[in-house]
Amino acid sequence: MRYLFEQYQMDCGRRELSRDTSVVALAPQTFDLLDYLIRNRERVVGKDELITAIWNGRCVSDAALTTRLNAARSAIGDSGEEQRLIKTLPKKGYRFIGTVQEVRGGPTMAVADTQRETAKPDLLLPDKPSLAVLPFTNLSSDPEQEYFADGMVEDIVTGLSRSKSLFVIARQSTSIYKGKAIDIRQVGRELGVRYVLEGSVRKSGDRVRISGQLIEATTGAHLWADRFDSQLNDIFDLQDQVTSSVIGALFPQLERAEIERAKRKPTENLQAYDYYLRALSSFYQFTREQNVEALKLTKLAVEIDPGLAAAYALGAYCYLQRKIFGWTIDANQELNDTRRLARRAIELDKDDPTVLVRAGQAIAAVLYEMDDGVALVVRAHEIDPNLAVARYTIGWEHIRRGNIDAALKQFHAGGRLSPMDPFLFLMQTGIAFAHFLTDRYEDGSSWAKLAVLDRPNYLNAQFILAACHAMSGRIEEARLISARLMEAKPALCVSTLVPKLARFYRPEHLEKITRACRIMGLPP
């Protein structure tokens, strides 16, 4: 049995406590005490019961018990003053009050969706005000306006994320609640947030109305509600009003100087912005056909408004999506188009974190200009620390430089910011790669399986799964996956793959990858 809580993992079979990737030193009796409290976390455990369980009923002093309790708290980042995880109830006993997920066997992720939902633990609240913006309901008579409501939410989330005093869940993680009857308290538990903003958009002719309400997810109490009406040509000022009102409701004490404009007006031309929102909607379908549609729509957007930086960045991002999913048609032409679009996006707007991260990722992964691309992503992270996909990119950069612990920290932080993100497969694959490079092949396999489950057509996840199997001795399974990879990419072989990977990995890591390739049966 393994217990997972916060960033800790307690493996009862191995009698081992670990934090992220590091084993925490623990005396045997301290381990037993922590294990007993976690196993009995649904009730208060009395002092005498603990002594009987840990010391087999021997007579021990209160000081000895206190010493072990303090050691257990210290091991999991708790203290007697804070009592965040182990609570003392005077004259009654002790109770473990942290949220715990029980896992039997390895941390396998290859399970059905319903099983994954059941096993998903509640997330602990961050140490600063936390917020999720649910998909707004489209009240327009035209169902085609769904993209408009989604775009409004994305803009509001972007504005909220720029407040460094807020922890904001990425829009992609909240999109799973679209069109569903939901329990706000459950949303708060699943996303690990204290506040939820929900609302609706009604667009009719040249007018738009946004209604919103802010709810405290832990209690279900309504904290604020308002309605905003505007002409469409004032839509960006309307987004500012909504965003500022939400921040004001959360933080009456915040100085307005800290609440910067929700989002710079991306364009004065509403038709161009309309095309951009449609392109964004198509991009998130993650299919070859919708990728083509998204590119077409970004081109229409910049033809109408050549100054729309977000559309140029999204166009470059579309070419990155083509590359990582194997949809490239003309490599040289797409490389040139990526360079043109990404560079133009940066020329137009050096301060929009979404523009920076999309252009930066495209520059790094399509043009192989790693340092320039990563620098843009780091800049995006500095502007918006809640941008999960920026953390994934920074995590991969740490892997490239051999900083595995730092990479894992970024991957896990990104996953916490956006626990249901459609880009989660990048985080899962990154964690799998980190485990592979540090000889934790079973853990690597488990994370890679999750990535394959999320995005079966993402070949990098299948590759690292095969590599982990190969190095752990599961050669038959590795070669079955390798055969599928060669079917998808007939030209795949060690002599062509390794020189490409040499741009990204340290020599000792490249040697390990090469060895795994040979074991899994890739042709020379």
Residue 257 burial (CB < 10 Å; 0-12/13-18/19+)? exposed
What's the domain range around 180? 130-263
Instruction: Please name the residue that has the structure tokens 């996953």.
Output: 415
Do both 309 and 365 map to the same domain?
A: yes
Nearest-angstrom CA–CA distance, 457 and 29: 48
Q: How far is CA 521 from CA 33, 193, 450, 463, in A?
A: 48, 46, 23, 12
In a domain, 166, yes or no: yes
143 and 252 part of one domain: yes
Instruction: Judge residue 181's burial from the number of C-beta atoms within 10 Å of its C-beta, 0-12 exposed, 13-18 middle, 19 or more buried.
Output: exposed
C-alpha to C-alpha distance for 118 and 112, rounded to whole angstroms: 10
Residue 251 sits in the same domain as residue 291? no
Q: How do beta strands 195-204 and 130-133 pair?
A: parallel
Phi, psi torsion values for 299, nearest 5 degrees: -65, -40
The predicted pLDDT at position 121 comes to 54
Domain co-membership, 149 together with 82: no
Strands 137-138 and 167-168: unpaired
Q: Is residue 121 part of a domain?
A: no
> What is residue 118's predicted lDDT score, i.e. its pLDDT?
37
The answer to whether position 143 is within a domain reads yes
Please tell me the total count of domains within the chain. Answer: 4
Claim to verify: residue 92 and residue 135 sit in the same structural domain: no
Work out the number of other CB atoms within 10 angstroms of the CB of residue 329: 9
> Which of 206, 231, 263 is the C-terminal boundary of a domain?
263
Q: What is the 3-state secondary structure (H, E, C) of 182-244?
A: CCHHHHHHHHCCCEEEEEEEEEECCEEEEEEEEEECCCCEEEEEEEEEEEHHHHHHHHHHHHH
Residues 137 and 222 in one domain: yes
CATH number at residue 88: 1.10.10.10
- For residue 95, give both structure tokens: 């109770």
Residue 115 is assigned to a structural domain of this protein? no
Domain harbouring 278, CATH code: 1.25.40.10
pLDDT at 107: 43
Q: Which of 217, 233, 263 is the last residue of a domain?
A: 263
On whether both 374 and 456 belong to a single domain, the answer is no
pLDDT (0 to 100) of residue 440: 93
In a domain, 330, yes or no: yes
Residue 166 contacts residue 160 (beta carbons within 8 Å): yes
Q: Compute the C-alpha angle 198/199/205, nearest 5°.
A: 160
What integer pLDDT is reported at residue 240 of this predicted model?
Answer: 65
DSSP state of 366: T
Q: How far apart are CA 439 and CA 21, in angstroms?
A: 12
pLDDT digits (tens, 9 = 90+) for 164-207: 667 888 877 888 888 777 788 888 888 888 888 888 888 777 77
What is the rounded CA–CA span in Å between residue 162 and residue 168?
A: 9
Can you give 308-332 as a three-state secondary structure string? CHHHHHHHHHHHHHHHHHCCCCCHH
Q: How many CA atoms lie within 13 A of 378 on its CB side?
A: 12
Query: How far is Cα of residue 132 from the mean position of the Cα atoms in its chain?
Result: 14
Does the residue 117 lie in any domain?
A: no
In a domain, 205, yes or no: yes
Find how far residue 176's CA is from the centre of its chain. 14
Calculate Rg over the CA atoms of the chain. Answer: 25
Helices then strands, counting H and E runs in the chain, come out as: 22, 13
Give the C-alpha separation, 211 to 499, whole Å: 55
The answer to whether 193 touches 420, Cβ cutoff 8 Å, is no
Collapse the DSSP code of 24 into the 3-class scheme (helix H, G, I; strand E, B; otherwise coil) and give the result. strand
Please report, for residues 228, 353, 421, the alpha-carbon distance to residue 234 in angstroms, rounded to integers and kept in the order given.
11, 23, 30
239's torsion region: left (phi>0), alpha (psi -120 to 50) or beta?
Answer: alpha
Of 324, 349, 384, which residue is a domain's last? 384
Q: Are 412 and 378 in a shared domain?
A: no
Residue 120 lies inside a defined structural domain of this protein: no
Segments of the chain with pLDDT less than 50: 106-120, 250-265
Do 259 and 274 share a domain, yes or no? no
Longest dimension (CA), the chain: 83
Are both 430 and 363 inside the same structural domain? no
Please compute, for residue 107, the number of CA atoms within 13 A of its CA located in the half-sphere on the CB side. Answer: 22
Q: Residue length, the chain?
A: 524
Is there a single domain that holds both residue 283 and residue 368?
Answer: yes
Are 138 and 217 within one domain?
Answer: yes
Please, what sign has the CA dihedral across residues 268, 227, 220, 250? Answer: positive
**What is the rounded CA–CA span in Å between residue 188 and residue 47?**
34
Taking the C-alpha atoms of residue 35 and residue 23, their distance in angstroms, rounded to an integer, is 16
Phi and psi of 179, rounded to 5°?
Answer: 75, 10
98 within 8 A of 84, measured Cβ to Cβ:
yes
65 neighbors 55 (Cβ within 8 angstroms): no
* pLDDT tens digits, 7-64: 788 888 778 888 765 677 777 888 889 999 998 888 888 888 888 888 776 666 677 7
Domain harbouring 205, CATH code: 3.40.50.10610
